[in-house]
Amino acid sequence: MNILHLKYALEVEKTESITKAAKNLYIGQPNLSKAIKELETVIGFNIFIRNPRGMTPTRRGKEFLDQARKIVNQLDEMKKIYLPLKPAAQRFSISVPRASYISDAFTNFVKTLDIQKEIELSFFETNSQQTITNTLETECNLGIVRFQTTHETYFLDLFREKNIDYQEIWQFEYLVVMSRSHPLANAEKILFSDLRDYIEIVHGDLALPVNGYTKTKKKPDMVQTNKRIFVYERGSQYDLLCTVPETYMWVSPIPEEMLSRFSVVQRKCKVDNWKFKDVLIFPKGYQFTALDQAFITQLFKSKEAVSAVQNK
């Protein structure tokens, strides 16, 4: 039995509402509902009656909550007596696509934290399907979903179906990133067909949800080629781009500092219908914490810095 779940149940009893309790606990409403159901499964009976007026304890639920309150109060007393005072913890988690401007924003966000306080951060780089799952089913209340604009209707419908709110970050066109030593690095113009003779680096787990979560399909091939390297984390892509001049990769705009650090260049290559959007997602009704707001501020600063590349 999880002590955190006991605290969740007591907050629901106090507010008589999953929505209000989730807001007070700074967690998503779906995550709180899931935790209460798990607790009820463990003890073998319903703690609350769910009705239009809110959440009301059952008879056995009231007895259980009385005991839970005693346990939580006793633990709080023990902490006061035996544990040293600590500054408030700084906790933050997010699921994102593999994007250098987002990584740059996260790094700048970390620099703003108070090193004297406890820090617990989780930064998941994954595909859109897993980001949605993480936002709905874990304590990860924020996510960034990337999709091709031709799939926008599907994703917006999915957000509504799953009770997910969203905020658009920006729309952009993919660029081609390559080593400064790549044969095309200084070409006056790069055509789609020019890439056929070179090795494309692809993130191997990129997928689009189809019919919910039951099937997936890989993104459409950009170039008909039999020369591909599939990677599963961003570090590998830069190692390859730096040391194998014949490689290239489709990316969202990259900050200038990273281009310089890894000795790579990003170039335009016009492709029809190759526009993408990044959107920030979070459970419906979720209230941003101060740390959420701090990260979002850095995110939009980083986006503004790289968005100028598209206008050159």
Per-residue pLDDT tens over the stretch 40-92 = 999 999 999 988 778 899 999 999 999 999 999 998 888 777 766 666 789 99
3-9: long-range contacts at Cβ-Cβ below 8 A with a sequence spacing of 24 or more? 3/71, 3/72, 3/75, 4/35, 5/35, 5/36, 5/38, 5/39, 6/39, 6/68, 6/71, 6/72, 7/72, 8/32, 8/35, 8/36, 8/39, 9/36, 9/39, 9/47, 9/64, 9/65, 9/68
Ranges in the chain, pLDDT < 70: 83-87, 139, 206-225, 309-312
Ramachandran region, residue 85 (left: φ > 0; alpha: ψ -120 to 50; beta: rest): beta
Q: What is the pLDDT of residue 215?
A: 39
Full set of structural domains in the chain with CATH: 3-82 (1.10.10.10), 94-170+280-311 (3.40.190), 173-275 (3.40.190.10)
Nearest CA-CA partner of 100 in 201, 219, 231, 250: 250
What does the alpha-carbon distance between residue 261 and residue 177 come to, in Å, rounded to a whole number?
A: 13
**Across the strands, what pairs with 170?**
278
- What's the CA gap between 60 and 46, in Å, rounded? 8
Rounded Cα distance, 178 and 163, in Å: 40
Helical H segments across 146-205, by residue range: 152-161
| Three-state DSSP state, 252 | coil
Express each pLDDT in 140-154 by its tens digit: 889 999 999 999 999
